[in-house]
Amino acid sequence: MNKIFSGLLCLFALTAISEVKAQTFRTFTTTSDEITYTNRVISDGRSIVEVVINTVVVDLTPNPTTAESTVSTDTKKETLFLTSAGAAALQTAVSNASSGTPISTTAAAVDDSDKIKDTSGAVQNSVTFVEIVNGVPTFTSASNATTNNNDVITTERADFTTIVETTKAIVSQN
């Protein structure tokens, strides 16, 4: 009878320990948006504005049971090629957007009429722009593709040493 009782007690203890490790812990999320506007001259001589939107979402999940923290970083980079008027309209829309509205949401509302088009009237997905490097013209190709990256890093809390304070008597000259 003792063996059965001991076995059940051990099974209960193992279940309780596994449940503690399987808990979901609070995740802290931080989101940051950044937008840049760069004037470019493309190979056919037109002046355009290259708009790059970087969105970074960082999720931090500390686990006090195992002393490990998991940091998940999602990075999204979106590139748009706009006319000068379209870039000015986007800049106004971003500055007038309510607080907390992601820049990517505002940029998604950009009309096709504000985007750079080829000679047949279709929106261009890639351009070749001219850069002058040390006095020499260089042609660089870029596309308006959206890239997503997800990095997950798990770190363990460092051990620490306990410092014991020794109290001393207060010595006063008064």
pTM over 0.85: no
Q: Give the mean model confidence (pLDDT) for residues 143-158.
A: 76
Write out the residue range of the structural domain in which residue 61 sits. 25-156
Q: Which amino acid is at 99?
A: S
* Tens digit of each residue's pLDDT (9 = 90 or more) over 64-95: 777 788 888 889 898 888 888 889 988 888 88
- Mean pLDDT for the chain? 80
Q: Give the pLDDT of residue 159.
A: 60
Asked if the structure places residue 8 within a domain, the reply is no
Residue 17 has, within 13 A of its CA and on its CB side, a CA count of 7
Cα(116)–Cα(42) distance, rounded to whole angstroms? 11
What's the domain count of the chain?
1
Asked if the structure places residue 172 within a domain, the reply is no
Which residues have C-beta within 8 Å of that of residue 25, sequence separation ≥ 6? 61, 62, 63, 64
Asked if the structure places residue 170 within a domain, the reply is no
Q: Give the pLDDT of residue 28.
A: 87
Asked if the structure places residue 171 within a domain, the reply is no
Asked if the structure places residue 36 within a domain, the reply is yes
Question: What are the tokens at 126?
Answer: 């890639």
Q: Apex CA 67: angle with CA 7 and CA 71, to 5°?
A: 125
Cα(66)–Cα(58) distance, rounded to whole angstroms? 21
Asked if the structure places residue 174 within a domain, the reply is no
Asked if the structure places residue 94 within a domain, the reply is yes
* Tens digit of each residue's pLDDT (9 = 90 or more) over 116-146: 888 888 888 888 877 777 888 778 888 877 7
Asked if the structure places residue 164 within a domain, the reply is no
